Amino acid sequence: MFNAIMIEKDEAGQTVGLQSVEESALPDGDVLVDVDYSTINYKDALAITNSAPIVRSYPLVPGIDFAGTVSSSNHADYKAGDKVILNGWGVGEQYWGGLAQKAKVNGDFLVPLPSGFTTRQAMAIGTAGYTAMLCVLALEDHGVTPDKGEIVVTGASGGVGSVAIATLGKLGYKVVAVTGKPDESQYLLDLGAAEILDRATLSEPGRPLAKERWAGAVDTVGSHILANICASTKYNGVVTACGLAAGMDLPLTVMPFILRGVCLQGVESVVCPKERRVLAWNRLAADLDAEKLSSMVNEIGLSEVIDAAPKLMNGTLRGRYMVDVNR
C-alpha cells in the first residue's frame, strides 16, 4: 500500500482526498519509481480545486512532476537505483502523477537527475522552474544578451517568476520584477531583481505602442499585462509567454510586431522534446544559485496538499511549493 492524493468523479461531481492505495492499482508503465518529492504547480492547483478541466481521466493521482528513485524497470535506459525526474507529458492530467509515494510511468517520459543535484533540489525547481529556464533559453536563442537592456518578469513572486529572476540575475541580466505583492519586494531584490514594478501599472488596457523599455520579457500572466509589455518592448526585443495567471486573453494590436519587429515567443513545457528538457535541467543545475533556490521553497507534506491548492490559485503564496510525499 502507498499514500496518494486521489481525484475521483461520480454523479455528484469531483472529489479529492488522501488515500491508501494498493500497489497493484497502479496503471501500466515500464518504470516503477519510489517518489521522494513532488510539487504543487499552478496546474495541479487547478486540478485539485476543479477550477479548470485539467483532469482527463478518473480516478487520477494529480501532480505534474516528481523526482525519485527507480525501484524496478523494464526500460532500456533505466535500472533500479537510478535517480530520475519527470515533468509534463500529460502526467497528473491523463496519467497518474507525482502526488503519491509511488508512480509507474512510461520510461520515455523520464529525465536522469543531473549530477550534483538532489531529488529535493529538482522538485524545489519543479515544472515551474524548468519552464522559467525554457523562457531563458528562448531569450538566449533570439540573441537577447545582458548588454541589450532590461528584462521584465511578471508574476514575479510565483514559481516561474522566482526562478526566472534568480537565473537571469545570476546570468548578468538587469531584471525588473512585476508583482502584485509589494510586501515581497525585498524577497525579489534578494533573488536578483534590480527593480520592482507594481503590477497595477500594467493591468489596465494600454496604448498600442508605448515608450520602448524592455529588451526581453518572461511573462507568466497574459492578458493586459502581456499586451502592455509587448507595447513597450524595444525594437527587435523578445517577449516569452508561458502563463495565464491574469487571464487567457491577449488584447493587443499588431503594432509592436510590424513597427518594432518585436518577437512574441510562446513557451510550452509539457511535450517539449527530450533534448531540450535535458538541456534545461542541466542549465538549472549550473545557473541557479542553491541558496536562492532555498529562499523560494516552502516544503509541505502530502497531507497538506489539498489545503494549499486554493491558496496557490488565489495568488497569495510566494515561490515554490514542494511536497515531501513521505510525510
* Binding residues vs ligand NDP (CB under 6 A): 41-43, 127-128, 131, 155-161, 179-181, 199, 220-221, 225, 242-246, 267-270, 312, 315
User: What minimum distance in Å lies between the beta carbon of 316 and ligand NDP?
Assistant: 8
User: What minimum distance in Å lies between the beta carbon of 32 and ligand NDP?
Assistant: 26
Cβ nearer to ligand NDP, comparing 107 with 180: 180
Among candidate residues 16, 23, 5, 7, the one with its CA nearest the CA of residue 102 = 23
Cβ nearer to ligand NDP, comparing 129 with 256: 129
N- to C-terminal Cα distance for the chain?
A: 15
Gyration radius of the chain over CA positions: 20
Cβ nearer to ligand NDP, comparing 51 with 57: 51
User: What minimum distance in Å lies between the beta carbon of 43 and ligand NDP?
Assistant: 5
Q: At 206, is the secondary structure helix, strand, or coil?
A: coil
Cβ nearer to ligand NDP, comparing 48 with 244: 244
What is d(CA 303, CA 48) in angstroms, rounded to the nearest whole number?
13
Where residue 273 falls (left for φ over 0; alpha for ψ -120 to 50; beta otherwise) is beta
Angstrom distances, CA of residue 178 to CA of 7, 191, 225 = 34, 13, 10
**Contacts (Cβ under 8 Å, ≥6 apart) of 287:** 133, 136, 167, 170, 171
Cβ nearer to ligand NDP, comparing 7 with 40: 40
User: What minimum distance in Å lies between the beta carbon of 157 and ligand NDP?
Assistant: 3
Residue with the closest Cβ to ligand NDP? 158
User: What minimum distance in Å lies between the beta carbon of 259 and ligand NDP?
Assistant: 27
